[in-house]
């Protein structure tokens, strides 16, 4: 990203990563975890997505074509969208507290969190990540950002499917009721 907004985008992602790393040590022990193959699938897709969205070296050929003209209002709007996504994901991560895990996991003494952003969508961390990635892609304005966003979306959808299967098995009717009341990723829509 070579716009004047690149520093703001990079700073937002640094805040996100630092918060994730610092808070990762404060979680409950796992009772059940997704398979290694499942972990590798969504991590590889996320990795590809973020390399495409954030790497300057991939602005070549069709990947470097612009879908957002340079200097438009969409560039600073992308920074705002990225900030909103990072903020929403961090809020959701805080609400999960010790229930959080980087992998799909059921914790010992796991409880279903339905407060804060979890009252708005069932998967607010993923909503925030998608929103932040969309904002970053808009600010960068190149086709590679759209491809990166697509990779992130597919990774999130894989992870949501696995996570919701785990939660349904662990919480039964309580999760079925929650699923009926609260949409997965976009309030009132999906």
The predicted-structure confidence for 84-105, as pLDDT tens digits, reads as follows 999 999 999 999 988 888 889 8
| CA pair distance 95, 116, nearest whole angstrom | 7
* Side-chain-facing half-sphere of 107: CA atoms under 13 Å: 17
Burial of 99 (0-12, 13-18, 19+ CB in 10 A): middle
Question: What is the predicted pLDDT for the residue at 30?
Answer: 85
Q: Alpha carbon of 148 to those of 11, 46, 51, 111, 113: distances in Å? A: 19, 8, 7, 33, 30
Domains of the chain: 6-25+32-181 (1.20.120.1630)
The SS3 of residue 67 is coil
- Is residue 2 scored above 60 in pLDDT? no
- Residue 153 C-alpha from the chain's centroid: 8
pTM above 0.85, yes or no: yes
- Is residue 178 scored above 80 in pLDDT? yes
When pLDDT is cut at 50, 70 and 90, the band that residue 180 belongs to is very high
Report the number of secondary-structure helices (H) and strands (E) in the chain.
6, 2
Residues paired with residue 133 on neighbouring β-strands, in sequence order: none
């Amino acid at each position: 990203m070579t716009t004047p907004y690149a520093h703001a985008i990079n700073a937002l992602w640094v805040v996100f990563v630092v918060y994730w790393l610092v808070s990762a040590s404060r979680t409950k022990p796992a009772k059940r975890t997704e398979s290694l193959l499942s972990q590798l699938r969504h991590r590889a897709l996320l990795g590809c997505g973020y390399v495409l969205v954030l790497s300057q070296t991939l602005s070549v050929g069709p990947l470097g074509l612009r879908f957002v003209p340079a200097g438009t209002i969409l560039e600073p709007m992308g920074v705002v969208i990225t900030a909103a996504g990072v903020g929403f994901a961090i809020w959701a991560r805080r609400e999960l507290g010790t229930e959080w895990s980087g992998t799909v996991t059921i914790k010992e003494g796991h409880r279903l969190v339905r407060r804060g952003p979890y009252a708005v969508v069932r998967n607010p961390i993923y909503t925030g990540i998608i929103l932040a990635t969309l904002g970053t892609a808009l600010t960068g304005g190149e086709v590679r950002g759209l491809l990166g966003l697509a990779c992130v979306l597919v990774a999130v959808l894989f992870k949501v499917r696995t996570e919701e299967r785990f939660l349904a098995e662990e919480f039964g009717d309580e999760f079925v009721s929650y699923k009926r009341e609260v949409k997965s990723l976009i309030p009132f829509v999906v």
